[in-house]
């Protein structure tokens, strides 16, 4: 079997278990999640945006969420907590999961082959590329943490005024 298809099949099983499990946790948690410690996270703007999208568009939002980063888990959990019927959820899970698996299998294998050739032919350039990638990710994480820390005092001041 072709390595891309084998990788895609493995990723497909993983995404079905992970996303389906997230949906199941959301289903079981239901309204109780909003009253728990997890309720603070659900009230964040990301979850509220996903919830509005699911209420408006339903299953297509779940399917498309697999092509995003950071939206997928929220979409599956909220679809479960909102008790989306399985007859609507499962087709979205199967279609979106297949797209996700193929995208990651093809892009992932292509990236690994490119890195392998880069290290084999130009080791110093390969090390430089990995260092540059790690620095970029580190800078992004640092930027987001600083921005979140700067927003927190403004939110606390707004909460104190009301």
**pLDDT tens per residue, the chain (162 residues)?**
587 788 889 999 999 999 999 999 988 887 666 666 666 665 566 667 777 777 777 888 888 888 887 788 888 988 888 888 888 899 999 999 999 999 888 887 778 788 788 778 888 887 888 889 899 999 999 999 998 888 877 666 666 665
pTM value is 0.61
Report helix, strand or coil for 67. Answer: coil
For the chain, the distance separating the N- and C-terminal CA atoms, rounded to the nearest angstrom, is 63
């Amino acid at each position: 079997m072709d390595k891309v298809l084998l990788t895609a099949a493995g990723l497909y099983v993983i995404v079905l278990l992970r996303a389906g499990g997230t949906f199941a946790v959301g289903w079981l948690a239901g309204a109780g999640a909003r009253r728990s410690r997890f309720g603070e996270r659900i009230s964040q703007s990301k979850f509220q945006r996903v919830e509005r999208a699911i209420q408006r568009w339903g299953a297509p939002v779940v399917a498309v969420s697999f092509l995003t980063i950071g939206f997928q888990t929220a979409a599956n959990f909220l679809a479960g907590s909102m008790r989306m019927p399985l007859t609507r959820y499962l087709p979205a899970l199967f279609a979106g999961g297949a797209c996700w698996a193929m995208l990651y299998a093809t892009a992932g294998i292509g990236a690994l082959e490119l890195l392998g050739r880069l290290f084999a032919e130009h080791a110093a350039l390969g090390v430089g590329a990995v260092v540059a990638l790690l620095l970029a990710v580190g800078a992004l994480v640092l930027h987001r943490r600083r921005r979140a820390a700067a927003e927190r005092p403004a939110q606390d001041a707004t909460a104190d005024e009301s």
